[in-house]
DNA sequence: CGGATTGTTGATAGAATTCAAGCCCAGTGG
DNA sequence: CCACTGGGCTTGAATTCTATCAACAATCCG
């Protein structure tokens, strides 16, 4: 029997909800506030947590955030309960890693459906990740997993994307991991007031969309095509099975994730303490690095000022101004809107 | 025979170095610039890359960064060659993920030693990660790996750390993963001009130092104890074997990594577009979340203004000012230096 | 060829850092 | 026991930097 932990400070709603769940043959644990809920989660390891957002002392976000810190609790499916149906709140919840969102007041049927979906999802994810599918060849005697089938992307479905089309968007459930064959794709997160921050610009050879997939949550960011692109789609199920069965691929993706985090930390430092000038310089280098893949030895940066500004988190005007400065200082050249770096070394070593 | 790719634009040095390596029975591939080097790396998959930093067109950093994007090329050991022995440059290289650094001019013996160390390291890492050690019980017939030995941390060596002592520092080679039993630990990266940015403050239950370990690079950040702490040390070898043999643990750490990256993206957005006020509010909530683990239902924030300022990437004075504002607006209370949140909801929903 | 979008430049206002000074508390040594 | 010193915290004033608003030029596109 599945155990569900219900954290809700209003007695009526709590009892009511518990009742509904019990009737559907779930074991229900009840907690009256965030703190109690956290303790209970740790002790009981429920299969699912339903949690109110607005609570005294420790609110729903706090609960979720605390759980995230323990590797063994972070993957318990989590449903937020809330009176606020504000889009921004929902996004906040999703970003915190919630699996679903129920807006009060809700019907019993809604609740049960959400619960079932979450539980099923988790099971499937786990199953996919741990199953070792039958192999063509017998497993080696040593149990060595390194030499499993290599990372084979040939002969797969290729999908073409036009410029400006969305590869995926915030809030969607990841159904594919994408591998870029051609073109450029930007990945960005959006800010409340419409501004966006580009977290990466990827070219051929890169994988995108795997983070959310691996964490088993909905996308928290968006991916949009900058230049007509061809992507290989790797379906969820297949990707997870790979990860579950092939040690080498797991290793590679773990590295990718770790590197990703490291890159982002650099970005944080950059945004926190660097002057606009330095941020622009770093941005240029970063973007160019992204463009220089494999054979495509790009030497010019050809993206809109707006996008470039969003890479470094500044206003477009500020960017333009700085670019003009750089141009005067002969650090870069601008022809037909494209930016050519004339002195990479100097750009890299700019003082703040 | 091991293949080594040497990327260096100066002919003498290139030929000279290649000679040394050849004599030691390595197969040497030569490239004259970054672009050529990249292509060759892709085609030949060398076991090690030695690369000059200062090169026309595409410099060393660019090469390394490009390689990082391919999961299957990112783990080739990488040694930088440079005339600059500047500490800052070395750090930059290490952060880019280099395994070692050779300062020109170097002796043949130095070179060979570095090469061997790197190759050996890589092998050992790989071996540890892929070996499935003999288990107490026979592997189940289905080959299911989920139920391996659980995450057992009991009965391990516990080490005590005094306040202000360093758990690990930038540039060191990770030899342990740490698990916090008691106390608080801050993790930070340092900026050229001495400023630091705190990327996390962790309390009991958290793991630290695993990112660098998993990526198999030296630490890029520092961890320092804020409050007398007790940590469990998990030795490198053991940790990697766990990861290699236990599907469940791998899953958990993958999630942790993915979540980490997501958190950092939030941080980027925060730094990029939020006002100081909002950043302070978020910082307070973030820190409090970090403190609220398990039973320790902390309700006060008790860290120095300096540290708090470094969490949000601002000047201490700016922080203090904002805190005063918050106090006046009855959002927080300050008693004996400790900060108490009076209105978490309002803090969370502050407008920019 | 208009109309729209994108890029550039100027002027201005606002925000946050920096420099400076003073306060408060704890620890130290006379 | 008390004065003294130093570190952390707070407040004030000046300065610097960057965003914003506005106008205009350039480019794209049907």
Q: Which segment of A83-87, A100-104, B44-48, B184-188 scores lowest on mean pLDDT?
A: A83-87
The pLDDT of residue B135: 44
- B189, B193, B352: which is closest to B280 by C-alpha? B352
| Six token digits for residue A165 | 């089309």
Strand (E) or helix (H) holding A226: strand A222-235
What is the rounded end-to-end Cα distance, in angstroms, of chain B? 60
B119 in Cβ contact with B47 (< 8 Å)? yes
Tens-digit pLDDT profile for residues B31-42? 999 889 988 998
Nucleotide minimizing C1' to CA distance for residue B317:
D10
> Which residues, in sequence order, are CB contacts of B273 under 8 Å at separation 6+?
A191, A193, A195, A197, A313, B352
Question: B71 to chain A: nearest residue by CA?
Answer: A252
Tens-digit pLDDT profile for residues B252-292? 889 899 999 999 999 999 999 999 999 999 999 999 888 87
pLDDT reading at B295 higher than 70? no
Residues of B in contact with A244 (CB under 8 A): 247
Task: Identify which of B95, B195, B271 has the shortest CB distance to residue A266.
Answer: B95
Chain B interface test: which of A91, A130, A281 (most B C-beta within 10 Å): A130
Contact B292 A62 (CB under 8 A): yes
The pLDDT of residue A131: 63
State how far residue B63 is from chain A, nearest Cα, in angstroms: 8
pLDDT reading at B91 higher than 70? yes
Task: Identify which of A192, A214, A262 has the shortest CB distance to residue B258.
Answer: A214
The average confidence (pLDDT) of chain B is 87
Residues of A in contact with B206 (CB under 8 A): 69-70
Beta bridge partners of residue A93, listed in sequence order: none
Q: Is the peptide bond preceding residue B105 cis, with omega within 30 degrees of 0?
A: yes
| Six token digits for residue B48 | 């090690």
Residues of A in contact with B283 (CB under 8 A): none
B193: left (phi over 0), alpha (psi -120 to 50) or beta: alpha
> Which residues, in sequence order, are CB contacts of A127 under 8 Å at separation 6+?
none
Buried b (16+ CB within 10 A) or exposed e, B157-186: eeeebeeeeebbebeeebebbbbbbebbbb
Tens-digit pLDDT profile for residues B71-81? 888 889 999 99
The pLDDT of residue A69: 80
Cβ atoms < 10 Å from Cβ of A152: 8
3-class secondary-structure state, position B51:
strand
| Six token digits for residue B311 | 């969490």
| Six token digits for residue B133 | 């050690």
Contact B144 A126 (CB under 8 A): no
Q: Is the peptide bond preceding residue A105 cis, with omega within 30 degrees of 0?
A: yes
The pLDDT of residue B13: 93
Task: Identify which of A65, A248, A293 has the shortest CB distance to residue B289.
Answer: A65
Within 7 Å of a protein beta carbon, the nucleotides of strand C are 6-11, 15-20
pLDDT reading at B293 higher than 50? yes
B334 in Cβ contact with A174 (< 8 Å)? no
Size of interface A-B (CB pairs under 8 A): 255
Nucleotide minimizing C1' to CA distance for residue A318:
D18
The pLDDT of residue A9: 93
Kindly determine whether the C-beta of residue B318 is less than 7 Å away from any atom of nucleic acid strand D. no
- B181, B174, B132: which is closest to B156 by C-alpha? B181
Q: What are the per-10-residue average pLDDT scores of chain A (352 residues)?
A: 94 94 95 90 94 87 86 88 77 84 88 93 82 47 44 80 91 93 92 90 90 92 92 92 83 90 94 96 91 67 94 96 95 91 89 82
Phi, psi dihedral angles at B15 (to 5 degrees): -65, -40
- A249, A241, A247, A135: which is closest to B131 by C-alpha? A247
Buried b (16+ CB within 10 A) or exposed e, A46-68: bbbbbbbbebeebbbbbbbbbbb
The pLDDT of residue B163: 86
Task: Identify which of B216, B255, B290 has the shortest CB distance to residue A74.
Answer: B255
- B336, B299, B334, B335: which is closest to B319 by C-alpha? B334
The pLDDT of residue A136: 42
A146-to-A252, B127, B129, B237 alpha-carbon distances in Å: 11, 9, 9, 18
Q: How far apart are CA B331 and CA B328, in angstroms?
A: 8
State how far residue A23 is from chain B, nearest Cα, in angstroms: 31
State how far residue A330 is from chain B, nearest Cα, in angstroms: 16
A332-to-A351, A352, B141 alpha-carbon distances in Å: 17, 18, 63
């Amino acid at each position: 029997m599945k155990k569900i932990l219900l954290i809700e400070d209003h007695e009526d709603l709590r009892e009511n909800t518990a009742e509904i769940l019990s009737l559907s043959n779930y074991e229900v644990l009840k907690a009256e506030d965030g703190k109690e809920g956290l303790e209970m989660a740790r002790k009981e390891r429920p299969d699912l947590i339903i949690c109110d957002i607005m609570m005294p002392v420790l609110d729903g976000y706090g609960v979720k955030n605390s759980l995230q810190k323990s590797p063994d609790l972070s993957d318990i499916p989590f449903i937020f309960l809330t009176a606020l149906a504000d889009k921004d709140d929902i996004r906040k919840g999703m970003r915190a890693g919630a699996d679903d969102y129920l807006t009060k007041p809700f019907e019993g049927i809604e609740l049960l459906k959400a619960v079932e979906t979450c539980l099923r999802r988790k099971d499937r994810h786990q199953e996919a990740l741990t199953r070792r599918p039958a192999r063509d060849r017998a497993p080696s005697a040593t149990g060595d997993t390194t030499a499993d089938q290599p990372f084979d992307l040939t002969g797969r479905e290729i999908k073409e994307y036009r410029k400006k089309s969305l590869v995926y968007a915030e809030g969607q459930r990841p159904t594919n991991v994408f591998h870029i064959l051609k073109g450029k794709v930007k990945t960005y997160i959006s800010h409340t007031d419409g501004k966006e921050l580009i977290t990466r610009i990827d070219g051929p050879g890169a994988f995108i969309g795997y983070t959310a997939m691996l964490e088993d949550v909905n996308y928290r960011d968006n991916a949009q095509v900058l230049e007509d692109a061809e992507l290989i789609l790797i379906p969820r199920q297949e990707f997870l099975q790979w990860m579950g069965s092939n040690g080498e691929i797991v290793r590679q993706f773990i590295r990718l994730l770790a590197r990703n985090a490291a890159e982002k930390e650099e970005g944080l430092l950059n945004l926190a303490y660097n002057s606009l000038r330095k941020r622009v310089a770093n941005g240029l280098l970063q973007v160019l690095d992204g463009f220089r893949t494999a054979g495509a030895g790009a030497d010019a940066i050809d993206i809109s000022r707006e996008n470039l500004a969003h890479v470094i988190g500044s206003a477009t005007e500020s960017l333009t101004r700085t670019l003009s400065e750089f141009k005067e200082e002969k650090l870069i050249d601008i022809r037909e809107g494209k930016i050519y770096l004339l002195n990479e070394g100097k750009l890299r070593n700019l003082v703040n």
